[in-house]
Amino acid sequence: MPDFMGMGESNVRIAVLSGKGGTGKTLVSANLAAAAPDAIYLDCDVEEPNGHLFFKPEHVQEEEVTIKIPVVDNTVCNGCRKCVDFCRFNALAYIKDRLIVFDEICHSCGGCVMLCPEKALTEQDKVIGKVQKGISGDVTVHTGMLNTGEASGVPIIKSLLDGIKDSPDSTVFVDCPPGSACIVMESIRDADYCVLVAEPTLFGVHNLSMVYDLVKLFNKPFGVVLNKCLEGENPAEEFCVERGIKILAKIPFHHDLGLLTSNAEIAVRKDEKYKEMFSSLLNMVMGEVQCEATSHS
């Protein structure tokens, strides 16, 4: 196995993403982490984290994630509306001599509290979810969980990323949320390399093109894993070939892989054939990362 370490101060971070759910992000990221010698698996799909169902981590520690929300004392507020005019997200309204705060619109910038000349606004913690950390074999499993009904999982992802700063030698595999919105941008922000997972359908091409645009916008090196491959045409493969996009692997649409996955097993840990397949994908990805590191040094 090539030397993955010694590539700098921080760990190597591989983000796995796709334009929609169900393409195989968790399959790829969990199996890559399981194939690596010392890995951190980071489940950033905070609205529906499922990696922990496969890893079944032990010695789980849990921490709440809070955000700051302004709270008004309407007996002090003089209705100057500086806060209302300032808030870019319109989380505040002044109606009938009362200031109203819309918690779920607030982005916790704290600007209204700083601006208030009457000091009528204070900040209060609001719990929006939690992060868990546990051990599964050689893999440290970090899971972000956003409470139902909360608008943004970004603070949970920030907390997850903060939580891996003290383990610089491990390779990090980020299981991203589906799509290409803010929450995905946050997940890939510090990534050294992005793995895009795609399905072999026209719909799959549409979803692939969304994340393709995103990683290009962020100037991230990337490659594609074609999942659920069958005999015959593969529009996602054609998309890659036409654009000269690196295809890292083609995962066959096999009954045994589906069965392992539906039984919440990690294929790499159960079947030598898949251990070989994901180890070779891991080598390829790490080779790409090193190649990028060299060409940019």
Nearer to other proteins, 157 or 195 (CB): 157
Shortest distance (Å) from residue 199 CB to other proteins:
24
Q: For the chain, where are the alpha helices, taking DSSP H only?
A: 25-35, 51-55, 82-86, 111-115, 154-162, 182-188, 202-217, 235-243, 255-262, 267-270, 272-295
Q: Is 88 in the site for other proteins (CB under 8 A)?
A: yes
Closest CA to 199 of 53, 41, 24: 24
Element (H, E) at 229: strand 222-229
Q: Is 152 in the site for other proteins (CB under 8 A)?
A: yes
Q: Is 102 in the site for other proteins (CB under 8 A)?
A: yes
Q: Segment contacting other proteins (CB under 8 A): 38-46, 49-57, 82-90, 194-202?
A: 82-90
Q: Segment contacting other proteins (CB under 8 A): 67-75, 100-108, 132-140, 155-163?
A: 100-108
CA distance 218 to 52: 29
Q: Could you tell me whether strands 121-136 and 139-146 are parallel, antiparallel, or unpaired per DSSP bridges?
A: antiparallel
Nearer to other proteins, 94 or 218 (CB): 94
Q: Is 56 in the site for other proteins (CB under 8 A)?
A: no
Q: Is 202 in the site for other proteins (CB under 8 A)?
A: no
Phi then psi for residue 42, to 5 deg, are: -115, 110
> By three-state DSSP, how is residue 193 classified?
strand
Shortest distance (Å) from residue 45 CB to other proteins:
16
Q: Is 264 in the site for other proteins (CB under 8 A)?
A: no
Q: Is 291 in the site for other proteins (CB under 8 A)?
A: no
Shortest distance (Å) from residue 89 CB to other proteins:
4
Cα distance from N-terminal residue to C-terminal residue, the chain: 23
For residue 188, give Cα distances in angstroms to 58, 82, 133, 228, 256.
Answer: 27, 35, 20, 24, 31
Q: Is 218 in the site for other proteins (CB under 8 A)?
A: no
Shortest distance (Å) from residue 288 CB to other proteins:
32
In this structure, the number of other CB atoms found within 10 A of the CB of residue 292 comes to: 15
Q: Is 105 in the site for other proteins (CB under 8 A)?
A: yes
DSSP assignment, residue 177? P
Q: Segment contacting other proteins (CB under 8 A): 55-63, 83-91, 206-214, 282-290?
A: 83-91
Residues that bind other proteins (CB under 8 A): 84, 87-96, 98, 100, 102, 104-105, 151-152, 181-182
